Amino acid sequence: MTDKPLRKAARKRLERRIVARIDDFPRQHRALESAMAAFGDEFELAQFRRAFETSDDINAYNDVQAVERAAARVQGYVGDMAMDGVRLAGPPSDPAGGEGFRATHAFETLRDAKVIDAGLCRRLARAQKGRSQIEHEYPGLRAGRVHDTAILIRETSLEFFTRFRTWVEPHLGEC
């Protein structure tokens, strides 16, 4: 991590971003749960797969896209909170932020700082990879991978959010 402290304006921007995501996270998580519920109470893989693979039922396919978008948004929030929290609170990290700094590095930094445990760190890294595949490798992606990623994000994001919020709140000024 760089030894240079954040400038006051940069610190305030980070604080506002973190607070905005903390405030909006519950709504985004509910949107993910709602999108998943379109495929049954237990988010049925067979039902999801049929909608994922359809060429005829565009409404069913739009339900798939709602799951994908909600999962990507929730995991995006998790990654952004982790990266911004590390930058704000300053636990040692490598690399020092900016170019090359990724959510997985932030998860590892939070693990090393005992904010999250090793198991959650691994699951968050898998969720981040799944999100990236949904966003960037879609044509070759299978329904089962998207389904598994959505479930993983639903589960890990809540656990992360609870731990992160408890850890970061003392580092936030009055936003």
Interval 102-124: pLDDT, tens: 899 999 999 999 999 999 999 99
Superfamily name with CATH number, domain 8-170: bsu32300-like (1.20.120.580)
What's the pLDDT score for residue 97?
47
In the numeric block, the tokens 């405030």 are attached to 23
Instruction: Write down the pLDDT at residue 6.
Output: 79
Q: pLDDT tens digits for 1-51?
A: 445 677 899 899 999 999 999 999 999 999 999 999 999 999 999 999 999
Tokens of 83: 């990266």
Amino acid (1-letter code) at residue 9: A
What is the pLDDT, as a whole number, of residue 173? Answer: 79
- By C-alpha distance, which of 89, 85, 73, 80 is closest to 30? 73
**Residue entry with tokens 């237990």:** 42
pLDDT at position 140 is: 85
98 pLDDT tier (thresholds 50, 70, 90):
very low
pLDDT of 159 above 50? yes
State the Rg of the chain over Cα.
17
Length of the chain: 175
